[in-house]
Structure 1
Amino acid sequence: MTENPLIADWNTPFELPPFGDIKPEHFKDAFDHAMGQATIEIKAIADQEAAPTFDNTIVALEQAGKDLTRVAMTFFNLTGAHTNKDIQAIERDVAPKLAKHSSETLLNAQLYNRIASLWDQRTTLDLSSEDARVLERYRTMFQRAGAGLNEPGKERMADISQRLATLGTGFSQNVLKDESDFQLVLESEEDRAGLPDFLLDAAAEAAKERGLAGKHVITLSRSSIEPFLQFSTNRRLREEAFKGWTSRGENGGQTDNRDIIKETLSLRAEKARMLGYDSFAAFKLDDTMAKTPDNVRELLTKVWEPAVSQAREEEAKLAEMARSTGNNHEIEAWDWRFYTEKVRKAEHDLDETILKPYLQLENMIQAAFDTAGRLFGLSFKELSELPVYHPDVRVFEVLDRNGKHVGLFLGDYFARPSKRSGAWMSAFRKQQKLGGDITPIIVNVMNFSKGAEDEASLLTFDDARTLFHEFGHALHGLLSDVTYPMISGTSVARDFVELPSQLYEHWLSEPEILSKYAVHYKTGEAMPKDLLDKLLAAANFNQGFATVEYTASALMDLELHLIDDPKEIDTSSFETDELAKIGMPKAITMRHRIPHFQHVFSGDGYSAGYYSYMWSEVMDADAFDAFKEAGDIFDAEVAQKLLSFIYSSGGKQDPADAYVAFRGRTPKIDALLEKRGFAA
C-alpha cells in the first residue's frame, strides 16, 4: 500500500493532498485499507480489559481512523468539486461501505457501554468543560445511531444507514447529470436579444469549455441562468431555460429522483420510529436549537405571512410593468426576474449592467480578506505551484496578526461541468490539538461565470454576497481553536452553523467596504456615490420574492419529514398540494423543488433542517446590531467576543449558551424582520 499516494506520507507543502499523484483507482484500495485499519483500532478500544477512562475511550476514539478521515475528506471534496465517471462509480461503491463501517462502530455494544459508563461517572471524572462537552456529544451520537436498540433493531438500523447512503449518492449524481447535460445554445441574434456583454462573454466561455467555440451557451449554473432570466427578451427561451432549471431530477429515465425520494423518506421515518420519535422531523430537530417541529413552523410562519403579502405587491408591479411595455400576459415564473430588473431600474434607477462592472471577483475576494483582517487580525498570502485538484483552484496561506500560520484557504470559484451546482465550504483537514497543533485546510467552492480570456470575472451583488457567506463558513473552520475533532470548526448544531456565514454577509453591504473595493474593472474608478447609495437603498427590493422562494422550500422540507407513511407519496402532487395549502403565489417557484433538493436528499445534513438559514438569520441580524450599537462595524471589543464565543469555539458549548456569551442575551426576531423589510 505504500505505493498508493493516499496512504503514503504526504510530503507536500503543508501536507496538502498530493493531487498530482492521485488517480481515481487509488481511492478504492485506499478506502479498503483505511477502513480495515480503522476497524482494528476501534475494536482494540472496545475490547480492552482496562476500565473505561476518558483517555482510553473518548480520546482514543478521537485519534482512531486518521487514514480513513484523510482519504474520505479528499475523496468527497472531489465528488462535489471535480468529479468524473470513475470517481462517481467509486462513490456509488464506497458510500454503503462507509455507512456499514460507521454502523459497526456506532452500534458496537461494548463501545457504547464504555461511553455510557463514563457518562454515568461524569461528575467524578474531573473533566474540563470541553472534555465534558465531547463526552456528551459521543453519548448523544451513539444513542441517536441506535446503540441502545436490541440486536435485530441494530441490524435493521445498519441496513437503513447503508441504503440511505446509496440513495443519497444516486440523488446527487442524478442532479449533476441533469445539470451537465443541459445547455441552451444561443444560435441567432433573436436568441441573444437583450443579453448584456458580461453574460455573452461568460456564455462564450461556457461554450468553449463544452467544445462549442464561437457559440454562446447558457448553463444551469445560477451565475449563468439567473442573469439570462433577468435580461433575455426572448420569452420562449426564458421559459425553456427556466423549465430546464426547475425540472432537474424530474425528467423521467435514469436520472429521475422521485422513487429515490419516496424510499429515502420511508427509511428515515422508519429510523425515527425505531428510536422512539413520532416523525423524522421530531428526531432530527431534537438535537438542534429549535428542538421541535412546532418551533420551526412558528418561526417560518411568522416570516411567511408578511413575505407573501409583499410578494403579491411585487407581482402587481411586475404585471403593471409588463402592460406598460405592451405585454398583457400573466406573470409566470420565467417572467419574474425579467420584469423585476425593469422595475428595479424604474424605482431605484439601478441597472445590473451598470452595477456589475464594479464587482470584480478579485476585488470581492480581497474585500472578504480585508474584513477578516480588520475583525480578527488575519492576513492572506497567495501561494503558487502547490498541488491542487484543478488549475482554477487558488491557495492562500492564512496568518494571524503575529505572522503565525493559521491554516490554508483554497478558493475554487468558477463553474464547470465536473462540479455540482451551488456554493459550499468544506475541509481537507480540520483543526485539532490531539497529537500536536493540527492546522486546518479549508476550501470554498463556487459556481461563478468565468470572464472571457484576459477579462475580469464579474459578479452580481448576489454572487458577491454568496462569496462573503461561504467565506464566513471558511473563517469558522480556519479560526477554530479546540482540542477535539468532534467539535472542531463547523461541527455545531445545524441551525447554528449558518450564523458565522450569514453574519459575515453584513460587512459586504457596508459603505466602508464597498467604497474601497467596488472599483470599475476597466477604469479603476470607485463606484460613484450615487450608484452606491442606490444599491444600498435597494437592499430590500424584491425581498418578498426572495423570502417566499426560500421559506416555501423550508416548509416543504419540514412537511415531507412529518409524513406518517411516505411509501405511497407522489412527490409532484404532494408539492402542489402543500404549496396550495400555504398560499404560494403562482408566479414563484420554490428555491429548491423536491426532485433536486440536494440540501435534503444528497445525504441528510439539512434534512428537516433547511429552516436553519432562517433560524440562524434571527441570530445574525441581532448579532450585527452589536457592532452597530458599538458605533463601529469593526469594534475591537465586539470582534474579540465574536472570535472567542462564535468563530473559534466550535462546538465547545451549547449553541444557545455560546450566543448569549457573545451578545449578553438571547436573540430577538425583530432584527430579522427589520433586515428583510417586514418590520411594522
Structure 2
Amino acid sequence: MRDDTPANPLLEPSPLPFSLPPFGLIRDEHYTEAFDRGMAEHRAEVDAIAIDPAPPTFENTLVALERSGALLSRTSLAFFGTSSSLATAEVQAIEEDYAPRLTAHRDAVRLDPRLYARIKAVHDDEDAMAALDAEARRLVERHLTEMTVAGAGLDEEDKVRLRALNEQLATLGTRFEKQLLADSNELAVLVDDLTDLDGLTSGEVSAAAQAARDHGHDGAWLITLVLPTAHPHLASLTDRDLRRRLHEAQGSRGDRGNANDTKELVLAIVRLRAERARLLGYPTHAAAALADSTARSPERVLGLLGRLAPAAARNIEAERELLEAEAGHPVEAHDWAYWSERVRATRYAVDLAAMRPYFEAERVLHDGIFRAAERLYGLTFTEREDLAGYHPDVRVFEVHEADGTPIGLYLLDLHTRDTKKGGAWMNSLVHQNDLLGRPHAVVTNNLNVPKPGLGEPTLLTYDETRTFFHEFGHALHGLLARVTYPHFAGTRVFRDFVEYPSQVNEMWMLWPEVLASYAVHHETGERLPQELVDRLVEAQAWGEGFGTGEYLAAALLDQAWHALSVEEAAAVTDVAAFEAQVLEQVGLGSPLVPPRYRSTYFAHTFSYAYDAQYYAYIWSEVLDADTVALFRENGGLTRENGDRYRRHVVGIGGAADPLASYREFRGADANVRHLLERRGLD
C-alpha cells in the first residue's frame, strides 16, 4: 500500500533559492515533528562534544558547538520567524506547548557542566587564545559569559530549580502574548455611522469597512487595535466620543477581569524573575538582565532615564497649555493627539494628516526605503514573484550588491490581520555565516497597516512611514552582517545596541534627496512642496514632550517591575496601584500622558524579551543622534559614509564589541548632547 503522507520539508535543508523555507509545503504538524527530532539530534551532538576524550580545543569544542543543532535552528527560525504573523489557534497551541520544552532544551545545553568546563578550559589557555583571530576569541568569550550569566556555574540542586523557573516563565510569556492578542481582537471598536469616521482617509475608511465585513458586520466599520496606547486614528478623528471609545479600548486590554485578563500573569512573571535573579546571585532581575549588556547595570540606565524625565515633564506641561489654548477647553488623554496635530498645523503650518496622500506605500518602499539603501550601500532590490512567502500578502525581494553579487532575500508583510500580533518587527529566517556555508541572509519586516479595499491605495501616516524606515534598518542589519560563526549572525547583538542601526535608518525619511524621490501625491504626481518640508523639519521637536514622556514612563515602569527583590515582588498584589505609584514617583503620573504601554499589555517586557531592557531604544538613540550628527558633518547620504558605517556597525553583526566598534567609527564615544537637542531636552 502506497504511503501518501507528505514528507516533512523541514527535515532537510531547503532546496529553494537562498534557503528560503518552503512555506507552501510546511504544515503545522511538521513543526512539532521537526522540533522533537531537532532537539534530540542537538542534544546528542552536544553530548558528543561534552564527552570527547580529547583535550578541549577551539575546534573540537567551540566550532563543534557552532555546527550543532542544524535541524533545530532551521525549524526555530521558520516557526518563530512567522508565529507572530500567523498566530492561528493551531500555531498558538504549538507555541504554548513547545515554549517550555525548548526552554528546557536550551537549559540542558547552556547549563551542562561538562560543556561549561571545556569552554572555560579553552578560554583559560592563554597561548591557544592568542593564536585565534579576533572573532574566534570573541566567540569563546561570549559563550563563556553567556553560560555563566545563565547559571552554568550553579550546583545541581540550584540548576533543577533554575530549569523549572525558566520553563514556567516561557509558558507564562507565551500565555501573556496569546491573551493580549485575543483581548485586542475582542476590543476592536465597531462604528455604525459613517459620519463618526470624519477625519480618516478613504483608505482608512475602506479598511475599517473590510475589517467589519470580515467579522460579520456588513454595513458597519471596525477599527482594530494596535500595540501602543496611542492609536494613530486619535490624531485625525474629529468625533471626540469615538476618540474616547478608542482610547479606552486601547488602555483596557488585559485589564477587564475576563478570561484574557493579564494582571495575574504580570505578577507571576515578576515574582518568578525575581526568584531566578536571586538564584543566579543578583539582587534583582534588572541587575541580572543588564549584567551582559552595554549598559552593564540598572544604575547607569536610571542615570540616563532620570536625567531625561524631569525635562520631559516640563515639556509636557508646556505642550498642554498650548493644546488647551487651541482647543478652548481642558484636554483629556483621548484629545491629546488630535489637538497636538491642530497646534502643529497652526504654529508650524504642518498638517501631518494632509501629508498622507504623499506617503503612498509603494513609492515609500521603492523610491524612499530602497532608494536610500542604494545610495548608501549600493544595494538593489528585485521582486521575486516566483518565490512564495508564508502568507499571500507577503512579498519577496532579492537583494544584490552594487556589482550584482546576491546578498539574500527581503520579505515584506505590510498589512494587519486578526492572526497578526500588534506592532512592527523584523525577523530572520536564514542567518548568514561562513562556517556552515550560508553566504546569504533571509529577513522579514512586519507592519500593521490597515489594508484598504480593492483598488484603493495604501496611504501611510507619518508615523507609519517612520516605522517602515525603522524596521527596514533592522532588516539591513540582518542582511549586511558578514560573520564566520552563526552565534554572531545579523542582529544577534546586545539588546541595548540592536535598536541603534534601525533608529539611524529613520534619518533618511526626511533626507532631502530621499524625501523628494518618494513624497509624491498619489493622484496628482505633485511633489511634497519644499516649503512644507522645511516647516516639517522645523516642527520636528513639537510633541517631543509627549513622545519622550510616554516612552520614559514605559521604560521606567519596566525598570521598576524588575528592580523588585523577591520579598518586594511578593508584596505587590495590585498591578494598577503599583504602576500609578511608580509613575507618580518619577514625575510622569499625568493621566493626560499614559505610558506607551501599560503593564497589562506591555508585550515588550512580558513576552518579547525586552524585560528590564525597554530602555534600549533611548540608550541606542544616544548613539543614533551622535551618528546623525556625523553624517551631517561629512556630506550626508554618500557611499563613502555608508561603507564606513557598514564596516564598523551593520556589517559586523555580533562579531566585535559594539561600543569599541562605535569608537572606531566615530573616533570618540557618543555625545549625549545630540540626543538632548533632538528631543528638545537641552
Measured against aligned partners, the alpha-carbon deviations of 1:206-235 in whole angstroms (never above 9, x if no partner) come to: 223334344221110369973431222332
Match of 2:401 in 1: 400
Once the two structures are TM-superposed, the CA of residue 537 in structure 1 deviates from its matched residue by 1.9
Could you tell me which residue of structure 2 aligns to residue 272 of structure 1? 277
Q: Bigger CA drift: 443-452 or 344-353?
A: 344-353
**Cα deviation, residue 268, structure 1:** 1.2
| Corresponding residue of 2:515 | 514
Give matches, 1:639-650, under 5 Å.
Answer: 639-650=642-653
Choose from 18, 23, 29 the match for 1:14. 18
Q: How does 1:351-500 map to 2 (within 5 A)?
A: 351-366=351-366, 367-500=368-501
Distance 1:633 1:235, change over 3 A: same
Aligned-partner Cα distance in 2 for 1:261–1:602: 10
Counterparts of residues 67-216 of structure 1 (less than 5 Å): 67-125=71-129, 126-216=131-221
Query: Structure 2 length normalisation: TM-score?
Result: 0.96
**SS of 2:75's equivalent?**
helix
Match for 1:345: what amino acid?
A
- 1:470 is matched by which residue type in structure 2? E
Q: Over residues 477-522 of structure 1, what are the superposed CA-to-partner deviations in whole Å (9 max), with x where a residue is unaligned?
A: 1001110111111111111111100011111111221112100011
Residue 508 to residue 195, structure 1, CA distance change in 2 (3 Å): closer
Q: Counterpart of 1:341?
A: 341
Structure 2 residue matching 1:481: 3-state secondary structure? coil
Equivalent in the alignment of 1:580: 584
Name the CA distance, whole Å, in 1 between partners of 2:486 and 2:13: 21
Tell me, in whole angstroms, the C-alpha distance in 1 between the residues paired with 2:579 and 2:226. 24
* SS, match of residue 423 in structure 2: coil
Deviations 1:612-670 (A, max 9, x none): 1111101000011111111x212333322201110110112211101101100000000
Whether 1:627 aligns to 2:628 is no
2:555 is aligned to 554
1:115 CA displacement: 0.6
Give the Å deviation of 1:415.
0.7
1:218–1:224 contact (8 Å) kept in structure 2: no
1:203 CA displacement? 1.6
- Structure 2 residues without counterparts, runs of 5 or longer: none
2:35 paired residue among 31, 35, 39: 31
Counterpart for residue 672 of structure 1 = 675
Distance in structure 1 (CA, Å) of the matches to 2:583 and 2:555? 12
Bigger mean CA offset, 577-586 vs 136-145: 577-586
Partner of 1:611: 615
Residue 425 (structure 1) shift: 0.6
Q: Secondary structure at the match of 1:289?
A: coil
Q: Deviations over 1:529-578 (max 9, x none)?
A: 22222222211111110000001111111111111131232211100111
Contact kept in structure 2, 1:224 and 1:449, CA below 8 Å = no
Answer whether contact 2:414 2:448 (CA < 8 A) is retained.
yes
1:225 to 1:189, Cα distance in 2 relative to 1, 3 A:
farther
| Paired position in structure 1 for 2:258 | 253
- Distance verdict in 2 for CA 1:71–1:146, change over 3 Å: same
Aligned pair count?
672
Q: Distance in 2 between matches of 1:65 and 1:128?
A: 24
The 3-state SS of whatever aligns with 1:19 is coil
SS at match of 2:540: coil
Q: Which moved more, 1:528-537 or 1:150-159?
A: 528-537
Q: In the TM superposition, what is the alpha-carbon distance from 1:302 to its structure 2 partner?
A: 1.5
- For 2:534, the equivalent position in structure 1 comes to 533
Measured after TM superposition, the shift of residue 315 of structure 1 is 0.8
Q: CA deviation at 1:143?
A: 0.7
1:77 CA displacement: 2.1
- 2:409 aligned counterpart, secondary structure: strand
Contact 1:262–1:568 (CA under 8 A) maintained in structure 2 = no
Cα distance in 1 for residues equivalent to 2:72 and 2:302: 39
> CA offset at residue 272 of structure 1?
1.3
User: CA–CA distance in 1 between the matches of 2:629 and 2:41?
Assistant: 50
- Given residue 671 of structure 1, which amino acid in structure 2 is its aligned partner? H
Regions of 4+ moved over 4 Å? 222-225
Asked whether the equivalents of residues 31 and 75 of structure 2 are also in contact (C-alpha less than 8 Å), the reply is yes
Tell me how far apart the structure 2 counterparts of residues 334 and 284 of structure 1 sit (CA, whole Å).
35
Query: Helix, strand or coil for the counterpart of 1:661?
Result: helix
Paired residue secondary structure (1:427): strand
CA distance, structure 2, for counterparts of residue 499 and residue 580 of structure 1 = 30
Q: Measure the CA separation in 1 of the matches of 2:586 and 2:488.
A: 38
Structure 2 distance, partners of 1:55, 1:625, is: 43
The CA distance in 2 between the partners of 1:255 and 1:127, in whole Å, is: 52
Alpha-carbon separation, structure 2, partners of 1:17 and 1:124 = 39
Amino acid corresponding to residue 412 of structure 2 in structure 1 = G
Residue 384 of structure 2 contacts residue 398 of structure 2 at CA under 8 Å; is this kept in 1? yes
Answer yes or no: is the 8 Å Cα contact 2:211–2:223 preserved in 1.
yes
Going from structure 1 to structure 2, the CA distance change for 1:51 and 1:2 (only over 3 Å counts) comes to farther
**Contact map agreement 2:188 2:249 (CA 8 A) in 1:** no
Instruction: Tell me whether 537-546 or 344-353 shows the greater mean CA deviation.
Output: 344-353
User: What is the CA deviation profile of residues 307-338 of structure 1, one whole-angstrom value per residue up to 9, with x for unaligned ones?
Assistant: 11111111111112221xxxx3x321111112
CA distance in 1, matches of 2:74, 2:527: 44
CA contact (8 A) 2:19 2:430 kept: no
1:350 aligns with 2:354: no
Structure 1 distance, partners of 2:495, 2:230, is 29
CA RMSD of aligned residues (A): 1.6
Q: Is the 8 A contact 1:409 1:441 kept in 2?
A: yes
Q: What SS does the corresponding residue of 2:81 show, helix, strand or coil?
A: helix
Q: Give me the whole-angstrom Cα distance separating, in 1, the residues matched to 2:227 and 2:556.
A: 23
Name whichever of 288-297 and 130-139 sits farther off.
Answer: 288-297
Q: What SS does the corresponding residue of 1:79 show, helix, strand or coil?
A: coil
CA offsets, 1:402-444, max 9 Å, x none? 1011010001111111100000011011110113243110001
Verify the 8 A CA contact 1:645 1:662 in the aligned structure 2.
yes
Question: Following superposition of structure 1 onto structure 2, how do residues 647-666 of structure 1 map, counting pairs within 5 Å?
Answer: 647-666=650-669
